[in-house]
């Protein structure tokens, strides 16, 4: 590992009263260039939410009043990031920490997310660092959903973007049905307000025969110079970019174009894979133990979708499922920056554990464990403009760290059971993580409904709570 030095001027997190932490006899693994850099039997010193030292024990500082932890036999890596989640209630946040996920990017924002993010940053609430998009921007069409903010015209799009900026959102999420006038106005208004753009690539109006007999109204390649922070879902790129053709040669040509544009991709292999798992189990997978942390209010809206997939012939979807992994590996080989996301919080994708499942799917697709872990740490930091500040184990890095009793670069399954997690400088041992996981299975139904009703009203689409079935 390089540049592991003491930094006395490390930046402090707000309202941080936790004592310094000195972790001794720890094996450190960092991914500063996408490769695993090891430092065995090291010391890790944390204060005020930052790493102030990572390196040989002999040179480690010894802050007064520090909490000292003997981590003999343990391995530490930077905290993991899930770049595509759906948070509905604060109770679910602990499930992410319980699996070593110390940063999440929420992809269907409402006003309560901004308040949650502030409470977490101020140390008032235990949880991963919370980034969020604003409400999902879409037009009417086959992919429109109840929580989308529908914009049909350029004027409606400009008004919606300006309102999201005024509310305090810093990134927009686009969706598949956005029509060209609305999308082009959205882009222009986003630039005027210095907002990031992420999401599904807009296809425009989907006429009869699209895409197999007619082209998309907005071609996938038109999107590549629009400055997306990330494009979401390999599955969606397969649809919009390749018209669902399972053609490796065509996939490689498209991957080179994505790489040339410099646009990162959040793969979310799990999003499609769990559909297949529901089909394979005739719906039983939707009731697996991890589903206990899915919010029961929003799960009411998933009932029909789960029932649909429970009746599907899994064999018809297995080839596509494998190809989504292959396409993701091809994009990586051709130089596309791949980052990790799981679509947690919807369908059967449980918070926290779904990101670990995503890592395993990347490895099954041909990534090494190191590559998968780098996609969740160093690569994410680069995409977010935080290289050297986050997703790292060096002086002045944000103190987000996961400790394991095994080496995840040797066996990715190791990530299922963190020994402890440091989130923004606060130590959480296994007992604390288990308590968070238990709490995540007890969301506040009334608070969730209030969150949704407030959010839908704010975006101009009032919601009758009766629709939620609670």
For residue 14, pLDDT beyond 90 = no
158-173 average pLDDT score: 98
Query: Among the residues of 365-407, which ranges form H helices?
Result: 369-375, 378-383
CB neighbour burial string for 435-463, b if at least 16 within 10 angstroms, e if fewer: ebbebbbebeeeebbebbbebbebbeeeb
On whether the CB atoms of residues 183 and 215 are closer than 8 A, the answer is no
Distance of CA 80 to the CA centre of its chain: 9
Backbone angles phi, psi at 25, to 5 degrees: 60, 40
On whether the CB atoms of residues 223 and 214 are closer than 8 A, the answer is no
For residue 16, pLDDT beyond 70 = no
For residue 13, pLDDT beyond 70 = no
Which of the 8 DSSP states describes residue 115?
H
> Tokens 């999401």 belong to which residue?
199
Rounded to an integer, what distance in angstroms lies between the CA atom of residue 344 and that of residue 86?
6
**Percentage of the residues of the chain whose pLDDT score is greater than 70:** 96
Instruction: Read off the pLDDT band of 3 (50, 70, 90).
Output: very low
361-374 average pLDDT score: 98
Mean pLDDT across the chain: 95
CB neighbour burial string for 106-132, b if at least 16 within 10 angstroms, e if fewer: bbbbbbbbbebbebbbebebbbbbbbb
Rounded to an integer, what distance in angstroms lies between the CA atom of residue 160 and that of residue 308?
33
On whether the CB atoms of residues 112 and 59 are closer than 8 A, the answer is no
Q: Count Cβ atoms within 10 A of the Cβ of residue 14 and give its class: 0-12 exposed, 13-18 middle, 19 or more buried.
A: exposed
Instruction: Express each pLDDT in 257-286 by its tens digit.
Output: 999 999 999 999 999 999 999 999 999 999
237-247 average pLDDT score: 98
**pTM confidence score:** 0.96
pLDDT in the model for residue 334:
98
Please state the domain extents for the chain. 79-393+427-458
Instruction: Read off the pLDDT band of 464 (50, 70, 90).
Output: confident
> Tokens 């998968």 belong to which residue?
372
CB neighbour burial string for 261-297, b if at least 16 within 10 angstroms, e if fewer: bebbbbbbbbbbbbbbbbbbeebebbeeebeebbbbb
Which helix (H) or strand (E) element contains residue 146?
Answer: none
Choose among 371, 359, 365: nearest CA to 413: 359
122-144 average pLDDT score: 97
Structure token pair of residue 64: 């007064």
Choose among 372, 350, 400, 455: nearest CA to 129: 400
pLDDT in the model for residue 467:
78
pLDDT in the model for residue 470:
61
For residue 116, pLDDT beyond 50 = yes
pLDDT in the model for residue 193:
98
pLDDT in the model for residue 5:
36
On whether the CB atoms of residues 252 and 275 are closer than 8 A, the answer is no
pLDDT in the model for residue 465:
86
Tell me the Ramachandran region of residue 402: left when phi exceeds 0, alpha when psi lies from -120 to 50, beta otherwise: beta
Structure token pair of residue 38: 């090891």
> Tokens 């686009």 belong to which residue?
174
Instruction: Read off the pLDDT band of 17 (50, 70, 90).
Output: low
Instruction: Express each pLDDT in 280-293 by its tens digit.
Output: 999 999 999 999 99
Instruction: Express each pLDDT in 318-332 by its tens digit.
Output: 999 999 999 999 999
Structure token pair of residue 27: 């094996």
Q: Count Cβ atoms within 10 A of the Cβ of residue 316 and give its class: 0-12 exposed, 13-18 middle, 19 or more buried.
A: exposed
**Percentage of the residues of the chain whose pLDDT score is greater than 90:** 93
3-state SS class at 248: helix
Rounded to an integer, what distance in angstroms lies between the CA atom of residue 138 and that of residue 142?
11
On whether the CB atoms of residues 15 and 355 are closer than 8 A, the answer is no
Q: What is the DSSP string of 155-204?
A: HHHHHHHHHHHHHT--EEEE-TT--HHHHHHHHHHHHHTT-EEEESPP--
116-127 average pLDDT score: 97
Distance of CA 438 to the CA centre of its chain: 22
Question: Which of the listed CATH numbers 3.90.580.10, 3.30.1180.20, 3.20.20.140, 3.60.9.10 matches domain 79-393+427-458?
Answer: 3.20.20.140
Q: What is the DSSP string of 75-112?
A: EEEEPEEEEEE---SGGGHHHHHHTTEEEEEESS--HH
Instruction: Express each pLDDT in 186-207 by its tens digit.
Output: 999 999 999 999 999 999 999 9
> Tokens 């920056």 belong to which residue?
337
User: 3-state SS string over 315-369?
Assistant: HHHHHHHHHHHHHHHHHHHCCCCEECCCCECCCCCCCCHHHHHHHHHHHHCCCCH
Instruction: Read off the pLDDT band of 4 (50, 70, 90).
Output: very low
């Amino acid at each position: 590992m390089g540049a592991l030095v003491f930094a006395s001027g490390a930046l402090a997190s707000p309202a941080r009263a936790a004592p310094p932490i000195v972790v001794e006899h720890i094996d450190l693994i960092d991914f500063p260039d996408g490769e695993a850099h090891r430092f065995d039997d090291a010391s890790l010193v944390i204060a005020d939410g930052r790493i102030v030292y990572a390196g040989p024990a002999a040179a480690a500082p010894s802050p007064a009043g520090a909490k000292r932890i003997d981590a003999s036999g343990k391995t530490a890596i930077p905290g993991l990031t899930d770049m595509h989640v759906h948070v509905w209630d604060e109770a679910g946040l602990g499930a992410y920490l319980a699996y070593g996920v110390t940063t999440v990017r929420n992809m269907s924002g409402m006003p309560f997310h901004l308040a949650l993010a502030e409470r977490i940053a101020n140390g008032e609430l235990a949880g991963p660092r919370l980034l969020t998009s604003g409400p999902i921007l879409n037009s009417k069409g086959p992919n429109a959903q109840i929580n989308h903010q529908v914009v049909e015209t350029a004027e409606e799009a400009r008004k919606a973007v300006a309102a999201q900026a005024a509310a305090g959102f810093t990134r927009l999420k686009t969706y598949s049905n956005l029509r060209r006038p609305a999308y082009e106005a959205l882009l222009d208004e986003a630039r005027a307000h210095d907002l990031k753009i992420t999401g599904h690539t807009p296809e425009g109006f989907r006429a009869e025969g699209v895409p197999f007999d007619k082209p998309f109204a907005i071609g996938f390649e038109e999107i590549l110079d629009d400055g997306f922070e990330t494009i979401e879902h390999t599955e969606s790129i397969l649809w919009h970019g390749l018209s669902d053709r399972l053609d490796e040669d065509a996939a490689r040509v498209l991957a080179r174009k994505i790489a040339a544009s410099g646009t990162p991709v959040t793969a979310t292999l799990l999003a499609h894979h769990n559909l297949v798992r529901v089909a394979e189990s005739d719906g039983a997978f939707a009731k697996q133990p991890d589903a206990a942390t899915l919010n029961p209010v929003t799960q009411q809206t998933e009932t029909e979708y789960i029932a649909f997939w429970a009746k599907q012939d899994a064999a018809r979807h297995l080839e596509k499922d494998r190809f989504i992994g292959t396409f993701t590996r091809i994009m990586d080989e051709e130089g596309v920056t791949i980052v990790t996301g799981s679509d947690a919080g919807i369908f059967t994708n449980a918070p926290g554990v779904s990101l670990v499942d995503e890592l395993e799917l990347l490895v099954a697709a041909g990534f090494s464990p190191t590559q998968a872990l780098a996609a969740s740490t160093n690569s994410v930091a680069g995409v977010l403009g935080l290289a050297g500040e986050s997703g790292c184990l060096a002086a002045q890095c944000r103190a987000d760290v996961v400790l394991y009793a095994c080496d995840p670069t040797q066996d990715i399954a190791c990530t299922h059971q963190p020994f402890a997690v440091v989130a923004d400088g606060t130590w959480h041992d296994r007992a604390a993580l288990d308590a968070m996981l238990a709490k995540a299975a007890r969301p506040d139904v009334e608070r969730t409904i209030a969150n949704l009703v407030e959010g839908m009203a704010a975006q101009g689409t009032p919601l009758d709570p009766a629709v939620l079935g609670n």
